[in-house]
Structure 1
Amino acid sequence: MIFQDCDIKTNSNGEELAVHGTALLPAACYETNLASKPVSWHWHDEFEAVIILEGTVSLSVGATQVEASAGSGFFINSGMLHSACVIGENGCRLRSIVFHPRLTGGSIDSIFWQKYLLSIIENPSLDVLVLSDDQTWGTDAVKCIAEAWNAAEAEAFGYEFVMRDLLSRMILDIFPHIPPYRSVLSDKTIRNNERMKQMLKYMQEHFSEELTLDEIAQSASISKSECIRCFKNIVKTTPIQYLKQYRIQRAAELLASTDLKILQIGTVCGFQEMSYFARTFREFQHCTPLQYRLKHKKTALQEEHIKTSSISTVP
């Protein structure tokens, strides 16, 4: 199986720790509901092909922000810092395939790599492409992603060939619509992207401690005002607000996956006062920590019951 859990774990530089697939088949399939699991900021060397099954998603890739709804999708280039969240109160289900360029490009000295893949990977103009359902090429690309995902799920004989073929067709569908190669990224933009990775690294290493704006800025050797500008340009929020959001996200993960006491979780996630933790948690999750834990424990039990029921009905 190349299906993997969709929880995002990153290293100290914001790079995702997950190994997507294997050395033999460098691809992995994911399905998630953004209403319960927003995708936090992370990056990886693989391409990511996404289709939207339900709802509307807001995708941030660096300083670029795009939206798309059911029937559409995205192509995210290699090495791009990105995050995603649902728009509106309804759920938003996504399916994605994260795959290394060598799956479709082969070796780096092949014509496929040199003529096509390299033009995508090294194009500073391409961070994300919206695969819109009102464009024929977008619809074709989404269809290829969906069929590749289904092939992986079925695991019929030869599905690896089918996946590679469909993802190659997807690359061919989007290739004529890739922005022209030009040096759109200024030295300042490149520098700010690196600064952002350094600050994310520092915050993720020290989120359980008391952090100040000055300490976050110093981690990238910049002023406090430059730190704020960098966050607002790329992450669209302030450093302190992002830190609160990250802490609550980590707290939510612990509430859903461990039996630690709520007070312990708050402390581990950088909240020294229980009342402040509860208030901040409600601000982001619209419920108390206890309500969140009970809801997600119940959901996990229901999913396990469905799986057990499905197995028991197999003749």
Structure 2
Amino acid sequence: MSLVPCSAGADPHGRELSAHGTARFPVACYRDELYLEDVPCPWHWHDELEAVVVSRGEVQVTAGGETFSVSAGGGFFLNARVLHNVRGRGGGGFRLRSVVFHPRLVGGSADSVFWQDYLQPLLSPGAPAFVRLDPDIPWNREALAAVEAAWSSAEREPPDYVFRIRAALSELVFQLVTHLPVEPGLPPEKVLRNEERMKNMMRFIQAHYGEELTVARIAASISVSESECLRCFRAVIGTTPIQYLRQLRVQKAAELLAGSDRKISDIGEQCGFREMSYFTKTFRELMGCPPSRYREKKRAGG
């Protein structure tokens, strides 16, 4: 199987659009080598489990309402259907090796011992949304080695690579389930309500990012107060509605700059920037270069 750059485009609900692997072999391995000027991974979620090893640099991960940093040699695990975002820290770029796989790859059918004793607890409402993997902790080190083994098998493709990948990911799941505190029962009602509100507000912003948007309008889209809107954004994704909107607009503009010949000013206006100077300033702040330079670099293959 080929290794490909990650492309986490999301639908208006924030659900990732990419298909990870195939129905017969539902796993995909990604080689991500990103720099400050690259589009940061947009907020998204997917039904699959994801495990990542940071092989160079440092990244900041926000998931499950918490933000943490991971340096080279470390990694992290993301549970299914968890909103998350990854971006670089410290300059100089970073490199990730990520494996995204459907639980059935390891669990098999719902009546199997693998599913009932290992996957079902991991997917239960009481399971952690994410796990930071620290190489100084022995069982974390075993989990990281399993991710590396799966990724390496995908890269080299030996004749038995499908067995090697499944075996490595089975080891990862075993390490997670046997060492994590999994509390039975549903998450608190407040957590469920926040996540549902967050997804609805993200859907509204995705549909109207090119228009004049304020916190009041975003809050009104789900009939809550401005303070409740702000609190929900902070609790779930660790940022404000306007910061999220700003990042989304720049992300959409970057896609248009790289994929079309339209005038830069027209792209800025379509993405919600009414003044060219503000568009240029905001784009440079988030991407490390002005829109014109970004387009030049993309056309040159950078």
Q: CA deviation at 1:123?
A: 3.9
Q: What is residue 303 of structure 1 aligned with on the other side? A: none
Q: CA deviation at 1:12?
A: 1.3
Map 1:105-254 onto structure 2 (within 5 A): 105-182=107-184, 185-254=187-256
Q: Report if the CA contact (8 A) 1:32-1:93 is conserved.
A: yes
Task: For residues 270-297 of structure 1, give each alpha carbon's deviation from its aligned partner in whole angstroms, at most 9, with x where no partner exists.
Answer: 1122122112212222321111222233
Q: Kindly tell me the number of residue pairs found equivalent between the two proteins.
A: 300
Q: Distance in 2 between matches of 1:198 and 1:103?
A: 30
Q: Distance in 1 between matches of 2:204 and 2:62?
A: 21
* Secondary structure of 1:162's aligned partner: helix
Q: Distance in 2 between matches of 1:259 and 1:178?
A: 50
* Secondary structure of 1:40's aligned partner: coil
Map 1:46-61 onto structure 2 (within 5 A): 46-61=48-63
Q: What is residue 294 of structure 1 aligned with on the other side? A: 296
Give the partner amino acid of 1:70.
Answer: A
Q: What is residue 86 of structure 1 aligned with on the other side? A: 88
Task: For residues 107-133 of structure 1, give each alpha carbon's deviation from its aligned partner in whole angstroms, at most 9, with x where no partner exists.
Answer: 111110011101001143401111111
Q: What is residue 41 of structure 2 aligned with on the other side? A: 39
Give the partner amino acid of 2:29.
Answer: C
Give the partner amino acid of 1:27.
Answer: V
Q: Distance in 1 between matches of 2:86 and 2:44?
A: 10
Q: CA deviation at 1:102?
A: 0.2
Task: For residues 177-236 of structure 1, give each alpha carbon's deviation from its aligned partner in whole angstroms, at most 9, with x where no partner exists.
Answer: 212315583211210111000001111111112222222112222111110111122222
Q: Report if the CA contact (8 A) 2:49-2:102 is conserved.
A: yes
Which residues of structure 2 form unaligned runs of 5+?
A: none
- State the percentage of identical aligned residues: 46
* Secondary structure of 1:41's aligned partner: coil
Q: Report if the CA contact (8 A) 1:125-1:184 is conserved.
A: no
Q: What is residue 304 of structure 1 aligned with on the other side? A: none
Q: CA deviation at 1:252?
A: 1.5
Q: Distance in 1 between matches of 2:232 and 2:174?
A: 35
Q: CA deviation at 1:248?
A: 0.6
Q: What is residue 285 of structure 1 aligned with on the other side? A: 287
Q: CA deviation at 1:76?
A: 0.7
* Secondary structure of 2:42's aligned partner: strand
Q: CA deviation at 1:18?
A: 0.9
Q: What is residue 274 of structure 1 aligned with on the other side? A: 276
Q: CA deviation at 1:11?
A: 1.1
Give the partner amino acid of 2:259.
Answer: S
Which residues of structure 1 form unaligned runs of 5+?
A: 301-315
Q: Distance in 2 between matches of 1:2 and 1:114?
A: 31
Q: What is residue 12 of structure 1 aligned with on the other side? A: 12
Give the partner amino acid of 1:187.
Answer: E
Q: Distance in 1 between matches of 2:183 and 2:250?
A: 39
RMSD (Å), alpha carbons: 1.6
Q: Distance in 2 between matches of 1:183 and 1:238?
A: 30
